Amino acid sequence: MKNSLYRFSDRLEIFFIYLFCFVVNALLIYAERTYQGSDSLIGSYINSIVEYRLIITIMLTFLVIIFCYQFITRKKTEIRIRFLVGETSWEIRYRYFIQSMIIMALSYFVSLLLNIYLSISLMVNLYLIFIFINYILVSTVGVKVK
Protein backbone atom coordinates (compact mmCIF):
# COMPACT_ATOMS: atom_id res chain seq x y z
CA MET A 1 0.00 0.00 0.00
CA LYS A 2 3.08 2.23 -0.21
CA ASN A 3 2.66 5.21 -2.56
CA SER A 4 -1.06 4.58 -2.64
CA LEU A 5 -3.60 7.21 -3.63
CA TYR A 6 -5.75 5.75 -0.86
CA ARG A 7 -5.44 7.08 2.67
CA PHE A 8 -6.58 4.91 5.57
CA SER A 9 -9.93 6.77 5.84
CA ASP A 10 -10.52 6.33 2.08
CA ARG A 11 -9.85 2.61 2.33
CA LEU A 12 -12.22 2.31 5.25
CA GLU A 13 -14.90 4.33 3.48
CA ILE A 14 -14.89 2.33 0.23
CA PHE A 15 -14.53 -0.96 2.16
CA PHE A 16 -17.77 -0.23 4.02
CA ILE A 17 -19.54 0.94 0.85
CA TYR A 18 -18.75 -2.38 -0.85
CA LEU A 19 -19.71 -4.26 2.29
CA PHE A 20 -22.99 -2.35 2.54
CA CYS A 21 -23.93 -3.31 -1.04
CA PHE A 22 -23.02 -6.99 -0.50
CA VAL A 23 -24.85 -7.16 2.83
CA VAL A 24 -28.02 -5.48 1.51
CA ASN A 25 -28.07 -7.87 -1.46
CA ALA A 26 -27.63 -10.90 0.80
CA LEU A 27 -30.31 -9.69 3.22
CA LEU A 28 -32.79 -9.04 0.41
CA ILE A 29 -32.17 -12.54 -1.00
CA TYR A 30 -32.63 -14.01 2.47
CA ALA A 31 -35.88 -12.05 2.96
CA GLU A 32 -37.11 -13.11 -0.49
CA ARG A 33 -36.46 -16.76 0.34
CA THR A 34 -38.01 -16.56 3.81
CA TYR A 35 -41.20 -14.74 2.86
CA GLN A 36 -41.78 -16.18 -0.62
CA GLY A 37 -45.54 -16.48 -1.24
CA SER A 38 -46.37 -15.28 2.27
CA ASP A 39 -49.47 -13.09 2.49
CA SER A 40 -48.97 -12.24 6.16
CA LEU A 41 -48.65 -8.58 7.07
CA ILE A 42 -44.85 -8.68 7.32
CA GLY A 43 -44.62 -11.06 4.36
CA SER A 44 -46.50 -8.80 1.98
CA TYR A 45 -44.52 -5.77 3.19
CA ILE A 46 -41.20 -7.55 2.65
CA ASN A 47 -42.38 -8.91 -0.71
CA SER A 48 -43.32 -5.42 -1.91
CA ILE A 49 -39.67 -4.47 -1.32
CA VAL A 50 -37.84 -7.60 -2.49
CA GLU A 51 -39.94 -7.52 -5.67
CA TYR A 52 -37.52 -4.75 -6.71
CA ARG A 53 -34.43 -6.40 -5.22
CA LEU A 54 -32.33 -6.12 -8.35
CA ILE A 55 -33.24 -2.45 -8.93
CA ILE A 56 -32.55 -1.58 -5.27
CA THR A 57 -29.17 -3.33 -5.29
CA ILE A 58 -28.11 -1.75 -8.58
CA MET A 59 -29.24 1.66 -7.29
CA LEU A 60 -27.07 1.12 -4.21
CA THR A 61 -24.02 0.31 -6.35
CA PHE A 62 -24.29 3.95 -7.41
CA LEU A 63 -22.67 4.73 -4.05
CA VAL A 64 -19.46 3.20 -5.42
CA ILE A 65 -19.69 5.46 -8.50
CA ILE A 66 -20.13 8.48 -6.22
CA PHE A 67 -17.13 7.47 -4.15
CA CYS A 68 -14.89 6.79 -7.18
CA TYR A 69 -15.94 10.05 -8.82
CA GLN A 70 -15.24 12.21 -5.78
CA PHE A 71 -12.04 10.29 -4.98
CA ILE A 72 -10.52 10.86 -8.40
CA THR A 73 -11.68 14.50 -8.47
CA ARG A 74 -10.05 15.12 -5.09
CA LYS A 75 -6.84 13.34 -6.06
CA LYS A 76 -6.22 15.30 -9.26
CA THR A 77 -3.52 17.48 -7.69
CA GLU A 78 -1.83 14.51 -6.02
CA ILE A 79 -1.77 12.59 -9.31
CA ARG A 80 -0.20 15.60 -11.07
CA ILE A 81 2.46 15.95 -8.39
CA ARG A 82 3.27 12.24 -8.47
CA PHE A 83 3.70 12.55 -12.21
CA LEU A 84 6.02 15.54 -11.74
CA VAL A 85 8.25 13.61 -9.32
CA GLY A 86 8.78 10.81 -11.79
CA GLU A 87 5.93 8.30 -11.63
CA THR A 88 4.30 7.29 -14.90
CA SER A 89 0.54 7.59 -15.22
CA TRP A 90 0.45 3.85 -16.03
CA GLU A 91 2.06 3.07 -12.67
CA ILE A 92 -0.42 5.29 -10.81
CA ARG A 93 -3.33 3.71 -12.64
CA TYR A 94 -2.04 0.16 -12.16
CA ARG A 95 -1.58 0.72 -8.42
CA TYR A 96 -5.01 2.31 -8.08
CA PHE A 97 -6.65 -0.58 -9.95
CA ILE A 98 -4.91 -3.32 -7.95
CA GLN A 99 -5.60 -1.63 -4.62
CA SER A 100 -9.25 -1.04 -5.47
CA MET A 101 -9.59 -4.71 -6.40
CA ILE A 102 -7.93 -5.82 -3.14
CA ILE A 103 -10.27 -3.67 -1.04
CA MET A 104 -13.30 -5.00 -2.92
CA ALA A 105 -12.13 -8.61 -2.58
CA LEU A 106 -11.55 -8.16 1.16
CA SER A 107 -14.99 -6.68 1.53
CA TYR A 108 -16.48 -9.55 -0.45
CA PHE A 109 -14.80 -12.17 1.73
CA VAL A 110 -16.01 -10.44 4.90
CA SER A 111 -19.55 -10.33 3.47
CA LEU A 112 -19.39 -14.11 2.90
CA LEU A 113 -19.56 -14.56 6.67
CA LEU A 114 -23.12 -13.25 6.57
CA ASN A 115 -23.95 -15.55 3.65
CA ILE A 116 -22.68 -18.51 5.66
CA TYR A 117 -24.59 -17.38 8.76
CA LEU A 118 -27.84 -17.00 6.77
CA SER A 119 -27.19 -20.24 4.84
CA ILE A 120 -27.46 -18.62 1.45
CA SER A 121 -25.34 -19.36 -1.59
CA LEU A 122 -21.88 -17.82 -1.64
CA MET A 123 -22.39 -17.00 -5.32
CA VAL A 124 -25.26 -14.52 -4.89
CA ASN A 125 -22.96 -11.49 -4.71
CA LEU A 126 -20.90 -12.41 -7.76
CA TYR A 127 -22.89 -10.21 -10.13
CA LEU A 128 -22.10 -7.26 -7.86
CA ILE A 129 -18.40 -8.05 -8.19
CA PHE A 130 -18.80 -7.93 -11.96
CA ILE A 131 -20.51 -4.52 -11.71
CA PHE A 132 -17.85 -3.19 -9.31
CA ILE A 133 -14.99 -4.38 -11.54
CA ASN A 134 -16.57 -2.39 -14.35
CA TYR A 135 -16.85 0.69 -12.13
CA ILE A 136 -13.20 0.32 -11.07
CA LEU A 137 -12.09 -0.10 -14.68
CA VAL A 138 -14.00 3.00 -15.76
CA SER A 139 -12.67 5.01 -12.83
CA THR A 140 -9.12 3.85 -13.63
CA VAL A 141 -9.49 5.67 -16.96
CA GLY A 142 -10.21 8.82 -14.92
CA VAL A 143 -6.84 8.52 -13.15
CA LYS A 144 -4.88 10.67 -15.57
CA VAL A 145 -2.55 13.63 -15.57
CA LYS A 146 -4.14 16.84 -16.84
Q: Is 12 in the site for another protein (CB under 8 A)?
A: no
Q: Is 59 in the site for another protein (CB under 8 A)?
A: yes
Contact 68, 83 (CB under 8 A): no
Question: Of residues 34, 70, 121, 134, which one binds another protein by CB under 8 A?
Answer: 70
> Is 63 one of the binding residues for another protein (CB under 8 A)?
yes
Q: Is position 113 an interface residue for another protein (rule: CB under 8 A)? A: no
Based on the shown chain and the rule CB under 8 A, indicate whether residue 118 belongs to the binding site for another protein: no
Q: How far is the CB of 2 from another protein (least distance, A)?
A: 25
Q: Is 74 in the site for another protein (CB under 8 A)?
A: yes
Pick the binder of another protein from 2, 3, 8, 39 (CB under 8 A): 39
User: CB count, 10 Å around CB of 127?
Assistant: 13
Contact residues toward another protein (CB under 8 A) are: 39-42, 44-45, 48-49, 52, 56, 59-60, 62-63, 65-67, 69-70, 73-74
